[in-house]
Structure 1
Amino acid sequence: MAYLKVERDDQVVQITITRQEKLNAMNLAVMDEFISILDGLEKDSSRVIIITGDGTKAFSAGADIEYMSSIGPSDAEKYALRGHEVLNKIEKLEKPVIAAVNGYALGGGCELALSCDLRFASPNAYLGQPEVTLGICPGWGGTQRLLRIIGPARAKDLIFSGRKITAEEAFSMGLINKIFSSENLISETRSYAKTISKNSSFAIGVSKMLVNKGTDANLDTGLKLEIYSWAVCFSTKDREERMRKFVEKKL
């Protein structure tokens, strides 16, 4: 991989974007590498995925503006489709994905973080959707995921103004889950990921699906899907073993 570094620590996988000279912006080559890695992670034994950017300046400055400045509507649509393919894969992965945001997460970088299940940040993180300052709207899911996470009024504020917000403001509106010091961001994120990895991967995968589906389903539909999924969990040996250990006070 030329732009993504993959590190494995037991059942936790960390993916790092390594384009510091471009503030870890995501061009087509980066997205191709993401697709390849994510395809492999769908089938391997990993339990939790961490996505971060190399260095402390940027998680990801987003899409490659130099590339976008030279294309027309047709190529722009293809670029957006590729971006959606990557971020949809992250969102639908049956494993928790945590964004560790150190520095700028702007435009497509913010949208990358939005596609993750949890977002941890350092105090020097800045998030935003500044696309309108460049004459475009968010194109990698920002208009849809942002409103689902922080609500339509706050989403419109960030999108219409194009302003960057601090980690503290992002935390206050529920866009960021936790804030850690810059030097401890990765170690704390890894520690949290290892805590998750001790739990049932099947149950977590089902729970992730239920929350994601529930975002768009009415309450009655969501509850029926939950009942079905709850029952399916009782068919697994993992559930049987965990409950046996609990009853025997071994868990």
Structure 2
Amino acid sequence: MLSTVTYEIKDSYIGVIKLNRPEAANSFSLQLLADFNQVLDQLENEDLRAIVITAEGEKAFCAGADLKERATMSQDEVVETVGKIGKLVSRVESLEVPTIAAINGAAFGGGLELTLACDIRIASGNAKMGLTETSLAIIPGAGGTQRLARLIGLAKAKYYILTAKRFDSLEGKEIGLIEEVVPLDELEHKGLEIAKQIASNGPIGVKMAKQALDHGFDHDIKTGLKIEKKCYLKTIPTEDRLEALSAFKEKRKPNFKGQ
């Protein structure tokens, strides 16, 4: 039984991961990192079409590293732990199926870095966030300097990281980091609603679209188009593509099987 992360499947194809250390602002302890990786081990072998990542409680999504635990570590142990956070974040980013971060409260440092690895971010109206590491005399070390710049642009990323500025979810939406802001009591429902919308589409098409976007983004347009074509060709021989055509012709909802 996992103690710091919960996981359940809803509506057959949607996985919901919840950080479960509300008493410690859902911060990244070594135990939480181990539990989260165990959840990923499980869901990677399941037939999912979307994943929602959120947290228990009404105050914090994830406050980043567990600073009380970190204060007991040597320099080498700190470096090792930051590496573990970075590997977890990268593992979330590399998942084949789309991920939705439902930010229910404070998301600072590594907590915000986790959301940057997700495909879509939504937040509650009470959420506060920021990459505040420079105020602690360090830098974002789990991908924050790289992913934030790719999401909101280099100039804005420099502004927020170098000032260690904290901002709310509405400002997050203004800068293009957050897609939707909803009341806290509607957040999980909204996350599931988006997940269901994704899950209703052709699973192989969705995976290939995500792959084309992720792999093509950092290349020039010519290379990106080649990557897109390669991903597109993988959708042609599928049963789902033929099912979509039949459903359109018969004026009914398609029944995709991910084949």
Q: TM-score, normalised by structure 2?
A: 0.93
Residue of structure 1 aligned with 2:106, choices 94, 104, 118:
104
Spell out the pairing of 1:141-220 with structure 2 (5 A cutoff): 141-220=143-222
Instruction: Write the deviation string for residues 49-74 of structure 1: whole angstroms up to 9, x where unpaired.
Output: 11111111000001111222233432
SS at match of 2:185: coil
Contact persistence 1:62–1:107 (CA under 8 A): yes
Residue of structure 2 aligned with 1:138, choices 119, 137, 140:
140
Q: Report the alpha carbon displacement of residue 248 of structure 1 after superposing the two structures with TM.
A: 2.8
Q: Look up the match of 1:244.
A: 246
SS at match of 1:38: helix
Indicate whether 1:39 and 2:58 are aligned.
no
Counterparts of 2:31 and 2:116, CA distance in 1: 21
> Aligned residue pairs: how many?
251
Q: Look up the match of 1:66.
A: 68
Q: Report the alpha carbon displacement of residue 115 of structure 1 after superposing the two structures with TM.
A: 0.7
Counterparts of 2:217 and 2:78, CA distance in 1: 28
SS at match of 2:122: strand
Most deviating of 106-115 and 37-46: 37-46
Amino acid in the other structure paired with 1:215: F
Contact persistence 2:59–2:106 (CA under 8 A): yes
Contact persistence 1:148–1:215 (CA under 8 A): no
Amino acid in the other structure paired with 1:209: Q
Counterparts of 1:183 and 1:200, CA distance in 2: 30
Q: Look up the match of 1:235.
A: 237
Residue of structure 2 aligned with 1:116, choices 114, 118, 122:
118
SS at match of 1:156: helix
Q: Look up the match of 1:12.
A: 14
Q: Report the alpha carbon displacement of residue 153 of structure 1 after superposing the two structures with TM.
A: 0.9
Residue of structure 1 aligned with 2:57, choices 48, 55, 65:
55
SS at match of 2:17: strand
Q: Look up the match of 2:256.
A: none
Counterparts of 1:80 and 1:217, CA distance in 2: 28
Q: Look up the match of 1:89.
A: 91
Counterparts of 2:231 and 2:197, CA distance in 1: 23
Most deviating of 235-244 and 143-152: 235-244
Q: Look up the match of 1:222.
A: 224
Most deviating of 27-36 and 136-145: 27-36
Amino acid in the other structure paired with 1:5: T
Instruction: Write the deviation string for residues 190-218 of structure 1: whole angstroms up to 9, x where unpaired.
Output: 11211111111111111111111122111
Instruction: Write the deviation string for residues 159-188 of structure 1: whole angstroms up to 9, x where unpaired.
Output: 111111011110000000101111111112
Amino acid in the other structure paired with 1:182: L
Q: Report the alpha carbon displacement of residue 124 of structure 1 after superposing the two structures with TM.
A: 0.5
Q: Look up the match of 1:75.
A: 77
Amino acid in the other structure paired with 2:23: E
Most deviating of 238-247 and 177-186: 238-247
Q: Look up the match of 2:131.
A: 129
Instruction: Write the deviation string for residues 106-152 of structure 1: whole angstroms up to 9, x where unpaired.
Output: 00010011111100101101110111111110011100100000011
Q: TM-score, normalised by structure 1?
A: 0.96
- Indicate how the Cα distance of structure 1 residues 68 and 215 shifts in structure 2: closer, same or farther if over 3 A, else same: farther
Counterparts of 2:224 and 2:113, CA distance in 1: 25
